[in-house]
Amino acid sequence: MVHIIKKTEKTIQFMQSFKTFINTYKVECSLILSLFVLSLVWTMSSKYFLTSRNLFNILRQCSIIGTVSIGMTFVILTGGIDLSVGSVLGISSMIAAKYMVGFGGPALSGIVVALLVGIGVGLFNGFFVSRVGLAPFIVTLAMMSIARSSTYIVCHGVSIYGFPAAYKFLGSNIIKSYVPLAGVICILLYFFAHFILTRTKVGRFIYALGGNKEAARLSGIKVEFYELLAYVISGLTAAIGGILLSARLNVVDPDAGIGLELDAIAAVVIGGNSLFGGKGSIVGTLIGVFLVGVLKNGLNLLGVSPFWQGMGIGSIILGALVLERVTSRS
Amino acid sequence: MKKIILKDNVILKIKEITKKFPGTLALYKVDFNLRKGEVHALVGENGAGKSTLVKILCGVYQPDMGSISLNGQKMVFKNVREAINAGIVMVFQELNLFPELSIAENIFLAQDLTYTFGWFLNRDIYKKTRELFTRIGIGTELNPKELVKNLSVGKQQMVEIAKAISQDANILILDEPTSSLSPLEIEMLFNVIRSLKEKGFSMIYISHRLEEIFSIADRVSVLRDGRKIGTTREVSDTNMEDLIKTIVGRKLRDFYYFSESEGRVVSEVIFQVKGLTQGDFLQNINFHVQRGEIVGLAGLVGAGRTELARSIFGADSKDGGEIYIEGKKVEIRCPYDALQKGLAYLTEDRKSLGIIEEMSVAQNITLPKLSQERKGFLLDQDEENVAANSAIKELSIKVYGLCQKIKFLSGGNQQKIAIAKWLLTKPKVIIFDEPTRGIDVETKAEIYRLINKIAKKGAAVVVISSDLPELLAICDRILVMCEGKITAELDREEAKPEKIMRYATPRNKVNFKYR
């Protein structure tokens, strides 16, 4: 008898903690549910969907946009926006490519060069946003233009290809040529970013300043520094995205990454992050990335024309926002 | 149609209006009436219920009980539009105008005659505006074609008044109309008010500046704690001293002087401000606070008290002045510096500056503490929870759990958290800016006890408050500010409400023409 009572108590306790879990991660749970439903639909409509080959394919396709979306999440959590990520991806990989191919630089320093370019651009954006106080939209819009133009200047408008083997390895598949290394790196970066946002002061302060910048400042937080940091992280992840993309394709095209900023913003927003800042999570972004990836993949498998795919993504963005509005109201 | 004969010329009659807000009784059975062609002043302390009363009149709030009758007819205003249609208009400062449009367009925007066929600007409006200006006594001071953004606040207010008149308003509500006007503009406003009065318009005039009331009002009503204390038959039936006494009330209400205050040991000076200056807002501010002492900053709205606190704390820049903590000169350029030097500042505006609504109780409580610790990169969840829990217990904050978002708490509990987060940083000097505004009586008492406790532990405490009895009850010393200067320093024994009010009231601002 006592045994049973204890058991029911335990169940009740479990149910309660389950309830609080659902309440805290309401957005993430509903996103996972939608991802699950979408996958179910694709599994039923295409026999190719639920194969390991296809799933890894999705991972490969998602890795670039996923990596760039990490930095975008940081910036959007501060209440800003970074329109320059696509161009940063282009310029950082282009300079690295020029360095490796044109000057015969080794792969490792090529990677460092790309990362430094990304950080540099992030510092530039962050300086104008946090210190000068310009609107993030305008600063990064200008940077988008400047970085793209610099990309064309560096390569004279032609693609650069033929990278060292060590560099290309980043874009290869590991474990019996099955698992895309870029995807693994991307997932690891998500773990790291999640750790930063939830377990460190940096994350806490970024949420605080995104939630209410003036209140955070008056609580004695160096808001300028943390805002700048978010843009640096965004530049950094955009550069990593550039490295992964160019390593896989073994070429850097001067047009690489055009329009990527919008895909990244879409993924972040679908992931339940508020464009006003202070609300959201990196887990949401990850699911948002996969939601778009799985949707695109399924539409491809079903042979839907690419012309129509934008409809699906647009509808998901709207749907996600409507869902968020409805749930936050209740 | 039956002609209604108005007794005493009363056009607006309010009977037994009662309005409750969660936790407070804003108005209790308030009667009020307004005659045709009179300026009726409404005075009282902050929170006395003046704003609530006029907001009910102009349809922003609906009363819980009581009735409003206009020209003998019972009226119910469900929204602002209905009140305007009935002829009651509140004149806001600047807020309601479109800066990029001309004066005339602003005045006639709501009416169809601004644009011919809805497209082309109707030139007649300029002529009409000029006529309107002449009618209400503004004269040719303003050019109807001028863009509103180029006008001073005072002139924008004239435009607001003209707009109200053009909408067939016959009752105007002016809420602190002179608070940001220059002496010249005040004189101009008074001329307009007098000219409107002659034409039979009625006005409700709210102001903290009592000397204005004697120069412009016909009658004056006093509100205190949501109750009407009285209305004079004529404004000349009272004088400044009596009026102040009526506003404040003789008793210091149900304030408990601290029984524990003996426990506090006021010792050496640990906080000192020398020659602090900031533009026109602060002029050569000097004061000190001792360890364990509670110093009050009294003054009217706009006297520069919050500006002083903010510039001490590094939230706004200062033009000059030095700050000493424990005898050492400290450089404070931003709130982060202030935090590191042992300063704490509870902001006036809790909702927009004091807390971060989207964050949890625990996260809010530990925020400054985390920033204060220079070492450490990782969050220690356990340590955080322990700190938050002990703060919740100490301040008896009512929460469901540490993860609860702060926006779901009541104002009083939010305020306690805003205080708790600073206590965790162990401040040497703490400035409370309006610590009990909008908070229920019970929590107020707790906050007073808390402030006393903080002082007892050896911090220097500065309390800014517009609630005089509150300051008188909790402070050892009161500094009175007026127009960016400290005009008086009063001991507990010297500090009397009337005296403070006298020092807080701007002098020689206007050459009042007594009628």
Q: How far apart are CA B376 and CA B381, in angstroms?
A: 13
Distance between B299 CA and the closest CA of chain A, angstroms: 23
B195 SS3 class: helix
Provide the ipTM: 0.84
Confidence of residue B2 (pLDDT cuts 50, 70, 90): very low
Over range B177-182, report the average pLDDT: 75
Domain B265-359+426-504 homologous superfamily, CATH: P-loop containing nucleotide triphosphate hydrolases (3.40.50.300)
Asked if B345's CB is within 8 angstroms of A278's CB, the reply is no
Counting beta carbons within 10 angstroms of the beta carbon of residue B101, is it exposed (0 to 12), middle (13 to 18) or buried (19 or more)? middle
pLDDT bucket at A28, cuts 50 / 70 / 90: confident
- A280 min Cα distance to partner chain B (Å): 10
Mapping DSSP onto H, E and C, the string for chain A reads CHHHHHHHHHHHHHHHHHHHHHHHCHHHHHHHHHHHHHHHHHHHHCCCCCCHHHHHHHHHHHHHHHHHHHHHHHHHHCCCCCCCHHHHHHHHHHHHHHHHHHCCCCHHHHHHHHHHHHHHHHHHHHHHHHHCCCCHHHHHHHHHHHHHHHHHHHHCCCCEECCCHHHHHCCCEEHHHHEEHHHHHHHHHHHHHHHHHHHEHHHHHHHHHHHCHHHHHHCCCCHHHHHHHHHHHHHHHHHHHHHHHHHHHCEECCCCCCCHHHHHHHHHHHCCCCCCCCCCCHHHHHHHHHHHHHHHHHHHHCCCCHHHHHHHHHHHHHHHHHHHHHHHHC
pLDDT of residue B254: 47
**What is the C-alpha end-to-end distance of chain B, expressed in Å?**
40
Q: Which has the minimum average pLDDT: A202-216, B195-209, B239-253, B407-421?
A: B239-253
Q: Select the residue of B313, B353, B376 nearest A215 (Cβ to Cβ).
A: B353
Which tens digits make up the pLDDT trace of A147-171? 999 999 999 989 999 899 999 999 8
Tens of pLDDT along B421-442? 999 999 999 999 989 877 766 7
- Dihedral, CA of residue B39, residue B45, residue B48 and residue B51, to nearest 10: 50
What mean pLDDT do residues B259-286 have? 82
* Homologous superfamily (CATH) for B7-248: P-loop containing nucleotide triphosphate hydrolases (3.40.50.300)
pLDDT band at B164 (very low <50, low <70, confident <90, very high): confident
Checking if the pLDDT of A279 tops 70, the result is yes
Rounded to the nearest angstrom, the gap between the alpha carbon of residue B454 and the centroid of all alpha carbons in its chain is 27
Chain B contact for A24 (CB, 8 A cutoff) = yes
Candidates B335, B352, B379; nearest CB to A204? B379
Q: For the domain bounded by A29-329, which CATH number is listed?
A: 1.10.3470
Q: Residue B178: its pLDDT value, please?
A: 80
Distance CA(B153)–CA(B510), nearest Å, equals 17
The pLDDT confidence band at residue B1, using thresholds 50, 70 and 90, is very low
Q: What is the mean pLDDT of residues B262-287?
A: 86
pLDDT at A188: 97
Greater model confidence, A329 or A308: A308
Question: Around Cβ A13, how many Cβ atoms within 10 Å?
Answer: 10
pTM of the full structure: 0.79
Chain B residue closest in CA terms to A24: B403
Residues of A in contact with B368 (CB under 8 A): 219-221
User: Touching check for A290 and chain B: CB below 8 Å?
Assistant: no
Instruction: Report the range of poorest mean pLDDT among A255-269, B63-77, B152-166, B270-284.
Output: B152-166
Q: How confident is the model at residue B404 (pLDDT cuts 50, 70, 90)?
A: confident
- What is the rounded CA–CA span in Å between residue B380 and residue B134? 70
Q: Measuring CA to CA, how many Å separate B38 from each of A297, B188, B201, B218, B306? A: 76, 18, 7, 6, 36
Minimal Cβ distance to A218: which of B345, B358, B363: B345
Lookup: tokens for B23:
């936790």
Domains of chain B: which residue ranges? 7-248, 265-359+426-504
Residue A191: its pLDDT value, please?
A: 97
Please tell me whether residue B386 adopts helix, strand or coil conformation.
helix
Tell me the C-alpha distance between A287 and A267, whole Å.
8
Beta-bridge partner residues of B20? B25
Same fold, B7-248 and B265-359+426-504: yes
The whole-number pLDDT of residue B413 equals: 87
Q: Band the pLDDT of A203: cuts 50, 70, 90.
A: very high
Percentage of chain A with pLDDT > 90?
A: 69
Do the beta carbons of residue A82 and residue A135 sit within 8 Å? no
* B236 or B415: which leads in pLDDT: B415
Average pLDDT, chain A: 91
Residue type, A151: T
Name residue B13's beta-bridge partners. Answer: B33, B69
Specify the higher pLDDT residue, B98 or B310: B310
Per-residue pLDDT at A295 exceeds 80: yes
pLDDT interval class at A70 (50, 70, 90): very high
Predicted confidence (pLDDT) at residue B119 exceeds the cutoff of 70: no
Q: What's residue B134's pLDDT?
A: 86
- State pLDDT tens for residues B460-503: 999 998 878 788 888 989 999 988 899 999 988 888 888 888 88
Average pLDDT, chain B: 84
pLDDT(A6) > 80: no
CA distance B358 to A201: 17
- Write down the pLDDT at residue B252: 45
Residues of A in contact with B421 (CB under 8 A): 219
**What distances in angstroms separate CA A140 from CA A68, A90, A144, A174, one per listed residue?**
15, 15, 6, 36
Compute and round to an integer the Cα radius of gyration of chain B: 25
Residue B509 pLDDT level (bands cut at 50, 70, 90): very low
Query: Tokens 């009618």 appear where?
Result: B135
Angle at B400 between CA B399 and CA B404, to 5 degrees: 85
Residue A208 touches partner B, C-beta closer than 8 Å: yes
The answer for residues whose C-beta is within 8 angstroms of residue B126's C-beta and 6 or more apart is B104, B144, B145
The reported pLDDT for the residue numbered B3 is 43
pLDDT at res. B253:
47
A215 touches chain B (CB under 8 A): yes
Interface contact B371-A215, CB threshold 8 A: no
CB contact A217 to B (< 8 Å): yes
How far B396 CA lies from chain A's nearest CA (Å)? Answer: 22
Helix or strand run (H / E) with residue B465: none
Give residue B510's pLDDT.
Answer: 46
Distance CA A126, CA A255 (A): 24
Residue B402 has pLDDT above 90, yes or no: no
> B33-62: per-residue pLDDT in tens?
899 989 999 988 766 788 889 889 988 889
Residue of A211, A221, A222 lying closest to B359 (CB–CB): A211
CA angle B491, B497, B503 (to 5 degrees): 75
Dihedral, CA of residue A60, residue A64, residue A69 and residue A74, to nearest 10: 120
- Give bridge partners of residue B344 from the DSSP assignment: B430
- Tokens read off for B405: 């978002």
Q: Which among B313, B354, B377 has the least Cβ separation from residue A215?
A: B354
* Neighbouring-strand partners of residue B227: B224
CA angle B458, B464, B466 (to 5 degrees): 145
pLDDT band at A94 (very low <50, low <70, confident <90, very high): very high
With CA atoms as reference, the chain A residue closest to B335 would be A220
User: Which carries the bigger pLDDT value, residue A232 or residue B126?
Assistant: A232
**Residue contacts between A and B (CB atoms, under 8 Å):** 87
Cα nearest neighbour of B421 on chain A: A219
Domain regions of chain A by residue span: 29-329
* A7 contact B CB<8A: no
Name the band, by pLDDT with cuts 50, 70 and 90, for residue B5.
very low
Rounded to 5 degrees, what are φ and ψ at B271?
-135, 130
